[in-house]
Structure 1
Amino acid sequence: MKRRAVLSLVLAAVATACSKFQTYRGPEVTRIHVLKGQRRMYLMHHDEVLKAYDIGLGFAPVGHKQFEGDGKTPEGAYIIDRRNPNSQFHLSIGVSYPNETDMAFAEEQGRSPGGDIFIHGKPRKYRNAPQDWTAGCISVSDKEVEEIYAMVGNGTPIYIHP
C-alpha cells in the first residue's frame, strides 16, 4: 500500500513537470512589443523588459497585413484577446487582428482582411521551415510559447512595429 502511494506521488510529479502549462508568479506583463525587422518580441512590465524572444513571421514579412492569404504579419496596436490550449501549433495566444481600420480597408477593396493571427509554437512538422513560415502569425519555439502563455493575460496590449 505504501509503495503504491509513493509511486502515485512520483507519477503525479512527473506529469506536472512534463505539462505544457506553466505557472508564472512574476511581474505583470503590461504590454508586448514586436519588432518585425529585428525578428524580436519583448514582454514588458511598464518600461522593463521581462523577456525577449527571437521570432518568425508570416512568409511575406515586409509590410502590414491587409488581406487574407497575403502572408503578412499585421502592424499596429492590438490586444491579446484569446488563447487556444489545444492549438495545432502547441499553444497559441490570439491577437485581435483585424481591427475596425483593417476591416474597413479590406472592405473598400472588396476583399477579406483575414484573421486568426496568433503567437504560437513551432510543431515538429515545421521544425525545418525557414524563419518566416507562418500565414501571418508570430512563431516561437514550443518551450517559449509555454512561457509566454503563462506570462501574458488576455487584454494585454501588443504593438507590432515594422
Structure 2
Amino acid sequence: MESPIKFEEVDIATILKTLPHRYPFLLIDRVINIRADHSGIGVKNVTINEPAFQGHFPERPVYPGVLMIEGMAQTAGVIGITSVEGTEKPRAVYFLTIDKCKFRKPVMPGDIVEYHMRSIGRRKTMWWFHGDAKVNGATVAEADVGAMLTD
C-alpha cells in the first residue's frame, strides 16, 4: 500500500528555493505526488529550445541521457529536502553515485519526461533512490542515484 501524498505538487518557484541549480542546468519543471515514503515524480517538458540540442544532434535532436540522469538526481533532491522535518532544511545536495544506469529509448523535443523516483536506502545524510524516466508510460531510462544532503 502506498504512503499518503505529502505534497501534491512542488512548483518551479519552490524548486528554485529548494535547489541551487539554475538555467541552463535546472532540469525539472515540477515535482508531483511526493509521498511520505520518500517517493515522487519529477516532470520535465522537453522543448527544441534546450541548449543541448544545438550539438546533440542538430539534424535529429535527441535529449542527452546524462541530462535525464541529472533530472532524476534533481527530483530526488527535491524529495529529500522537502521530506526533512522542521525549519533547518539542508542547503545543498551533492550527487554521489550512479549505478545500474540504462538508456532504453530516445527522448525527443515535445516529449514530457516523468522521473519516477523512490527511496531505496538512507543513512544519516545520504540517500539512495531508484529512478525510472518515462515518456507516455514507457521507460526511456533508469538508474539508481545517491546523494548527500548538507548544511
Task: Provide TM-score, normalisation by structure 1.
Answer: 0.29
Structure with the higher fraction of residues in strand conformation: 2
Structure with the higher fraction of residues in helix conformation: 1
Task: Provide TM-score, normalisation by structure 2.
Answer: 0.31
User: Bigger radius of gyration, 1 or 2?
Assistant: 1
Q: Which has the higher contact order (CA 8 A, sep 6+)?
A: 1
